[in-house]
Structure 1
């Protein structure tokens, strides 16, 4: 039986009431010092972290910051194929992707340049965090999927992947956490939303700064695991933004630490009941 095509309209309109991007000319911070979602400039969104959400993975974690939602699964360490070059240090592999429904506009399934770029940045971050010399001739695979993106997706991926690695029992120097900042004129907005990240300054003077900073920190060792900047920011503004992101990473680290302690406690109680 021949298939029959369903006729579709030549033109389509987005549903009413859906906001597709920041309005041109809008201010990120009001005169009262509040942002569009009611936060002050140095306030991060409430965070929820849960480990052990993927049963078939060696370790996994789910992270939610209001409308930004990320899930991560860790597999390994596993033996590297014989065709790989011999190395006494382990290897890291990262697969980052936005799911098709994660963004405001549907993404084409598959890996594009942005996915590969963020995957490479995650590998660069965790190569300085994971104790690679503890599992020679082996590889750890990190799979990160963004379920919903409302800004700070890379920082959320760093934190979620760190919690998943800890849940898998992979040895690390410290639990690395991520934080982003939108630098807008004299304001530094921690944990920016997607509208704040996409905000374009129509008129940027010579004494004004505008950029987006991504930052990852190992708080216990006070070491920077990753830092990148997009935009034009003067030296003083960059130093101030780095300090603000460092403080944000320390606050996020405490949330992840408490979640890991609770997860280990629940596993211990479950194992104790199973044995008895």
Structure 2
């Protein structure tokens, strides 16, 4: 009787050797040891502030040209203690809030009608495409003539700045919905309203939120110009008064306020994206 023996390939596991098992413990440990992302996000702003302070301390930047970060911080504390910052922020937020409510409402209605209905597109889209090329800031003289120099022209200016980017993104989102999904919904017996609710609007939501982020940026930009129209309160009013007296520290404080409020608004929209688009996994970077 012949017994044949075969040698296992070199490096192959045998009965005496444990089978190597690849685990993710090392990879997980590496991820846990990584530096948090928020630290990297702070590196660039902190480096710019340090460079700015260094240039001011060495005399490269004079206070007449640009106040140092230390001076700006001191001015911000003084304005806060006097109540000027709170009053300015409250006035500006009221204007932006009113303009956003009007602009978002109008944009949603027009984009929905234009995106869902061909007749709506024929009646709405062409005028919107023409008007969006008109500089909103160029409308300030007309707004003053139509609404005076009170709060109305400021709010209307912000609303106009919000309408067009939001309209374009919602309209594009609706029209870019996969036709195959709509046909599948029809095959399953979904009615028109059910198709809009369960297929079209959810698919257009990512574009709508992108448009909202653009609109918020446009709203703050329009506010800067709007508060030059005979404003008696607000961040823009403080900037204009500081310009008259060459107070660069106050101007920088106002600019930082605009930036911080814009970041807060963008953060809120990002939270909405995570909530409303939780069903839609997306690439988050390598």
| Same fold by TM-score greater than 0.5 | no
Judging by fraction of residues, say which structure has more strand.
1
Larger Rg: 2
In the superposition, the TM-score normalised over structure 1's length comes to 0.29
